[in-house]
Amino acid sequence: MTNPHFKELRHAYGFDDVAIVPGDVTINPEQTSVELKIGNITLDIPILAAAMDGVTDVKAAISMGKLGGLAVLNLEGIHTRYENPDKVLEEITSAPQANVTGVLQKLYSAPIQDDLVAERVREIKKGGVACGVSVTPANTKRLAPIVAEAGADILFVQSTVTTARHVSRSTRGLIFEELCKSLGIPVVVGNCVSYSACLSLMKTGVSGVMVGVGPGAACTSRSVLGIGVPQITATMDSAAARDAYYEETGRYVPIITDGGFHRGGEICKAIAAGADGVMLGSVFAQAEDSPGKGYHWGMSHPHPALPRGTRIKVGTTGTLEQILYGPTSVTDGSQNLVGALKTAMGLCGASDISEMHNADMVIAPSIVTEGKFWQFAQGQVSK
User: Restricting to residues 353-372, which ones interact with a copy of itself according to CB under 8 A?
Assistant: 360-372
Angle between helices 114-126 and 137-150 (to 10 degrees): 50
Q: Quick one: which of 16, 123, 153, 276 contacts a copy of itself (CB under 8 A)?
A: 16
Residue 98 touches a copy of itself, criterion: CB under 8 A? no
11 binds a copy of itself (CB under 8 A): yes
93, 317, 319, 343: residue in contact with a copy of itself (rule CB under 8 A): 343
Min dist. Cβ of residue 257 to a copy of itself (A) = 13
Residue closer to a copy of itself by CB (options 85, 274) is 274
- Residue closer to a copy of itself, measured from CB, 24 or 128: 24
CA atoms within 13 A on the CB side of 227: 11
Nearest to 335 by CA among 61, 50, 47: 47
Is 374 a binding residue for a copy of itself by CB under 8 A? The answer is yes
* Residue 109 binds a copy of itself (CB under 8 A): no
Residues sharing a CB contact under 8 Å with residue 202, sequence separation 6 or more, in sequence order: 209, 241, 242, 245, 253
User: Does 2 help bind a copy of itself (rule: CB under 8 A)?
Assistant: no
Which residue lies nearer to a copy of itself by CB, 41 or 103? Answer: 103
Residue 324's Cβ-side half-sphere holds a number of Cα atoms within 13 Å equal to: 25
State yes or no: residue 3 binds a copy of itself (CB under 8 A).
yes
Subset of 37-66 contacting a copy of itself (CB under 8 A): none
- The answer to whether the Cα torsion of 316, 329, 48, 67 is positive or negative is positive
* Strand 311-313 versus strand 295-297 pairing type: antiparallel
When asked if residue 205 is in the footprint of a copy of itself (CB under 8 A), the reply is no
Could you tell me the smallest distance in angstroms from the CB atom of residue 299 to a copy of itself? 13
Q: Are 29 and 346 in contact (CB under 8 A)?
A: yes
- Candidates 2, 9, 98, 111; binder of a copy of itself (CB under 8 A) is 9
| Cα torsion through 343, 72, 295, 103, rounded to 10 | -170
For the bound state, the minimum distance from the C-beta of residue 211 to a copy of itself, rounded and expressed in Å, comes to: 12
149 versus 178: smaller Cβ distance to a copy of itself: 178
Residues 144-203 that bind a copy of itself (CB under 8 A): 160-170, 192-197, 200
Residue pair 346/26 in contact by the 8 Å Cβ criterion: yes
Decide if 18 contacts 362 (C-beta within 8 A). Answer: yes
Please report how close the Cβ of residue 16 comes to a copy of itself at its closest, in angstroms. 4
Among 66, 142, 181, 303, binds a copy of itself (CB under 8 A): 303
Give the pairing of strands 132-135 and 70-74.
parallel
| C-beta closer to a copy of itself: residue 16 or 276 | 16
| Residue 7 touches a copy of itself, criterion: CB under 8 A | yes
Q: Exactly one of 22, 84, 97, 177 binds a copy of itself (CB under 8 A); which one?
A: 22
Count of chain residues binding a copy of itself (CB under 8 A): 125
Beta strand pairing status for 36-38 and 41-43?
antiparallel
Q: Which of 115, 307, 352, 354 binds a copy of itself (CB under 8 A)?
A: 307
Give the nearest distance from C-beta 149 to a copy of itself in angstroms.
29
Amino acid at 2: T
Enumerate long-range contacts of 189-192, CB under 8 Å, 24 or more apart.
189/156, 189/157, 189/158, 189/162, 190/156, 190/157, 190/158, 190/162, 190/256, 190/258, 191/158, 191/159, 191/160, 191/161, 191/162, 191/258, 191/259, 192/161, 192/162, 192/163, 192/238
End-to-end, the C-alpha distance of the chain in Å comes to 45
Does 95 bind a copy of itself (CB under 8 A)? Our answer is no
Return the range that interacts with a copy of itself (CB under 8 A); candidates 117-125, 127-135, 182-190, 339-347: 339-347
Enumerate the β-bridge partners of residue 33.
352
Which of 267, 275, 287, 353 is in the footprint of a copy of itself by CB under 8 A?
267
